[in-house]
Amino acid sequence: MTAAEMLDRLVGFPTVSRESNLDLIDFVESLLDAHDVPHWRVESDDGRKANLLARIGPNVAGGVVLSGHTDVVPVEGQPWSTDPFTLTDKGDGRLYARGTCDMKGFIACALSEVPRWVSLNLEKPIWLAFSYDEEVGCIGAPRMIERLMAEHPRPAAVIVGEPTLMQPVVAHKGATNLRTTVTGRASHSSQVNQGVSAIHMAARLVTFIEDVMADLKAEGRVDEAFNVVHSSLHVGKISGGTAINIMARECTFDWEIRHLPSDRFEALVARINAYTTELEGDMQRRAPETSIVTETLNETVPALADDNNAEVLTLCHALLGERPAGAVAYATEAGQFQRHGLPTVICGPGSIAQAHQPDEYIEHDQLQAGTRFMAALGARLQQK
C-alpha cells in the first residue's frame, strides 16, 4: 500500500478529538498483526481512546521513535468544498481531507513502510508511537511515553512528525490553557454603587494579561529564533452578563500562555495572579461574596528546548541532507519526550499553514518526501 493509499484509509476515520479513535487503532493493529509486529495499547481512563506503541526490529536499546497524533480538529463551520473525511485528488498536486497534513500524512508514510522495514535485518528498532488527544492539550502522550520508558529498552532519538515541510525543528513554545471566572454582585444598572460588575473586572484583567505580554518584550525576554519572539498571552473567548441593564454577576474568559523555552509558565502566571489578588481585594471591599478564580484546563505542555539534540539532528541531516533547523510557535508532544531525557526534534511532511484549515491538504511532493525519509531511515538502521 502506498503512502497515498494509506492516507486514504486513515482520513476516512473521523477521529475528531471529541470522538473515539479506536476504529483507527483497530485498523493499524490489524496491519501490524499481518506483519507480526508487536504492539501495545495504552488506553485512556474511560477506554474510549488509545495510544499505540509498536516496535519494528530487535528489542534492544537505541533506535528511533516516530511519534504522531491520531486525532484531528473539527470541521464544523468551515467552508469545505469536498467531504473532509474522504481523500480527494483534484489534479492540482494536492490531496485534500481533514488531517492530511496534521498529521495523518506522516503516519501514512510510516505505516506504508512497515512491510519493507520488517523485511530488513534492522540493527536498531523503529518505534511507532501514535497518540490521542494531542489537539486538546497533548493529553494522551504522557502515559504512552511513561509506558515506553518503564517497560521497554530506551530509544536513542524521537522524531515527532508534525508538518514542517521536512525541515528539522529543534524548539517550540510550551502551552497552557486557562479559564478565569469572575463573580461579582448583580444590581440594577442605574445603581452602580450597589453592585460589582464581573464584566468590568474581567475587562481589567484581560487588558492586564495583554500588558504582561508587552512587558516581557520590553524586558528583553525574547528569542529571535521564533517568528513571535516573546512568550504570548492571549484571551480567546469571553462570556458574561444577562441583560444590558443588569450589572453582571458572572463573567468567564478562556485564555492561554505560550511560553518560550527560556521562560517558565509558573513565573508568567504568577504575574497575573498577583494582579488578580489585588483586583479581587478591591472587589471584596465593596462586596465580600465576590471572587476571581482561575483554573488550568490542561497540564502544561512543556516547551521543546534546542538542547541535547546533536545526535538526532545528525540523523535527520543524514536522511534529508543538510537543512537549517528552526523553531515554531505551536506546541507538540516533542517537549513531553524531551522531558524524559529523549533527544527530540520535529520533522514531517506538509505545511503547518494548512493545518486546521478548510480544504486542508498535503502536496504529493511532500508525501513522497516523507516516504523517502522513511525508506532512508530503515536503510540507516539495518545491519551492515
The CA-CA-CA angle for residues 111, 112, 116, to 5°, reads 105
Non-local (6+) Cβ contacts of 338 within 8 A are: 158, 302, 304, 305, 307, 308, 344
Query: How many CA atoms, within 13 angstroms, populate the side-chain half-sphere of residue 91?
Result: 0
Q: How far apart are CA 63 and CA 152, in angstroms?
A: 12
Considering only CA atoms, which of 142, 158, 92 is closest in space to residue 343? 158
First to last CA, the chain: 27
Task: Given the residues 71, 133, 162, 263, select the one marked as catalytic.
Answer: 71
Which residue type sits at 154? R
The CA-CA-CA angle for residues 175, 156, 134, to 5°, reads 30
Q: How far apart are CA 29 and CA 39, in angstroms?
A: 7
Considering only CA atoms, which of 324, 22, 329, 367 is closest in space to residue 161? 367
Which residue type sits at 125? P
Considering only CA atoms, which of 126, 98, 99, 123 is closest in space to residue 110? 126
Alpha-carbon dihedral sign for residues 367, 100, 260, 338? negative
Phi (first) and psi of residue 122, to 5 degrees = -70, 135
Considering only CA atoms, which of 381, 294, 303 is closest in space to residue 335? 303
Task: Given the residues 134, 135, 280, 363, select the one marked as catalytic.
Answer: 134
Q: Is 210 an active-site residue?
A: no
Considering only CA atoms, which of 292, 287, 286 is closest in space to residue 252? 292
Q: Is 71 an active-site residue?
A: yes
Q: How far apart are CA 174 and CA 377, in angstroms?
A: 29
Residue 354 contacts residue 360 (beta carbons within 8 Å): yes
Q: How far apart are CA 59 and CA 54, in angstroms?
A: 11
Residues annotated as part of the active site: 71, 134
